[in-house]
Amino acid sequence: MRKTPSQGHTVRVIPRLDIKGPNVVKGVHLEGLRVMGDPAELALRYYEEGADEILYVDSVASLYGRNNLLPIVEHTAKEVFVPLTVGGGVRTMEDIYKLLRAGADKVAINTAAVRNPPFIRQAVKTFGSQCIVVSIEAKWRSEGRWEALTDTGREKTGMDACEWAMQAARLGAGEVLITSIDREGTGTGYDLELTRRLAEALPIPVIASGGAGSVDHIKEAIIDGKADAVCVASVRHYRRTSLRDLKSALRDAGLSIRLTSTRGKQSSAGFPDDLLAASPRLRSSQELPARQPSFKSQRQAIAARNSFVVRGKTRGEFLAGHARAPLVVVDYGLGNLFSVMRALQRLGAHASISADPRAVARAGRIIIPGVGAFGDGMRGLTENGLIGPLRDAAGNGKPILGICLGMQLLMEEGVEFGLHKGLGIIEGRTVALRRVAPQGQGPARGLEPAQAAGAQGSRRPAHVGRHHPGGTALYFQKNQESRLLLKDSFFRKSPPKSLDRGSFGEAFLRSHFGRITRLNLPDTLATLTLLTARSIEDSYRRFILPKHAIRQVLVSGGGSRNPVLMRLLRDLLRPIPVSVSDMPAMAKEAACFAWMAGRAMEGKPNNCPIATGARGPRVLGKIIFA
């Protein structure tokens, strides 16, 4: 069940600026466009009024087969420091790359995605799902049905808009922008039925667009339409209200809205010396990954963070020394680096962008920005020879700031589209935040299905990618592929049942992994580890915990020697303690039979119907006294 705004779900208010040539335009039903003003000036005004994000859409890009927004995005990013989403004419990976380099944070894709749905997955795997917004222009056709249109509402597709939105989510899109063509520009309110249907069906945020004419309309979209974010255009372009007043009214109505102070021009106050990434705990030298350049310097840095004194200097003196050294923004091929540079310039800081490991090694302060997928980020750092200099900088106590993907890369590992080792500067791992953590939607029971498939998978050669040491469990973006695995017919059966191992060997891998994505061997085994953990969790929550008070879970067998599986089980079964049984493997069967014999001597049932498939509790076996 989705959170509502009253339950703490903060809603974003996003001014939408449709652009034709050099101007912001506005029409009705995406037609009859009128010039409203300069895009950069309007974006700055709305930013200063408290916009949570800005949306630029080139309204004629698809018609003419090009996107003219790059100069506008570059100019806007110099003054506007909230997320900037750009859409219209985004057709290729190169288009996305250029927009991000120009200063965009996200891109909205419509026509190209409809014509080539795998383009969504390709973009997500390269830039991360948080960067990819699928834009859908929907027109009402009949009761309960809307058609998805392309080319700014000019071309019919015959596709059901709701079904297309769900497909886009399965392909990994991070958000869906739904524009009601019927309501767009009318000021009569959002299409609440359309928005609500998508919001209730999708596991990703839904942005409502088209029809806002008053504060009440926006309230309705949030409360009745269950939108995660709302786009506003006419209500602001025609100065019916300011964003500041609009958001205050929404907050007064009890909605969770992010209020901001006036964002006027700031004076140059200089850049903070103590440029440190917020972290749960910086790792000690003994815990940092192998091949760490300088353990001694790390110990000194950790001592500095704990005691505020290093090499006889106070923490302030220590950091001031670094502040005199260069500030470097690390370029590893991903992200909107120029937005970071413009923010630094606005603060009066002198910085440079560099992919040179020597420049990073000389830096006194380091910023690692980035927009993209974890694996691609680490690949970019590795190919540029930046891993060693960054770890050494952290070990020497140099201030490091990670932004977005850059912050994720500071962790030990990331599990976006496979397990990937991170820089290991901060203890922990990066996982996808699930909107809802439902219980009871996994398989009926079992360790064996994943083990059986894993046994087959382990015989397959690892054609692609490098081995991931220690094994792993894979969290796909939004767990969408994981949910597909859990829909296998075996998992949908109710107990009692028995395991047909033939269903979970080569055929299982072919039918699922071959269809979902191209996984190498380590990622395949990682996914099966996750499947194992979630199936065990589901069995406990559906069949055991409702009837029994469990004080502790003991794990034995081969799975207990998999540290990743054990970590997952501890996370999923909290607050129940999960421990590894110290019972020798050869003694386990004897202990189980002794328990069964004891129950039989007492005349009590000693079988487990869920596991054995028996029709009910039975006394099994016969005890003969010698």
Active site residues: 18, 137
Taking the alpha carbons of 424, 570, 174, 50 in that order, is the dihedral positive or negative? negative
Residues 231 and 208: beta-carbon distance below 8 Å: yes
Taking the alpha carbons of 140, 212, 247, 38 in that order, is the dihedral positive or negative? positive
Taking the alpha carbons of 418, 422, 424, 427 in that order, is the dihedral positive or negative? negative
3-class DSSP state of 279: coil
Point out which residues pair with 209 in neighbouring strands: 179
Tokens of 600: 């039989």
Residue 160: CA atoms inside 13 Å, Cβ hemisphere, count? Answer: 10
DSSP string, 404-454: THHHHHTEEEE-SSS-EE---SEEEEE-PPPS---SS-S-SS-SHHHHHHH
Q: Rounded to an integer, what distance in angstroms lies between the CA atom of residue 452 and that of residue 368? A: 42
Tokens of 311: 């090499």
Residues 67 and 90: beta-carbon distance below 8 Å: yes
3-class DSSP state of 76: helix
SS3 breakdown of the chain: % helix, strand, coil, rounded to 5?
Answer: 40, 20, 40
Q: Rounded to an integer, what distance in angstroms lies between the CA atom of residue 550 and that of residue 465? A: 41
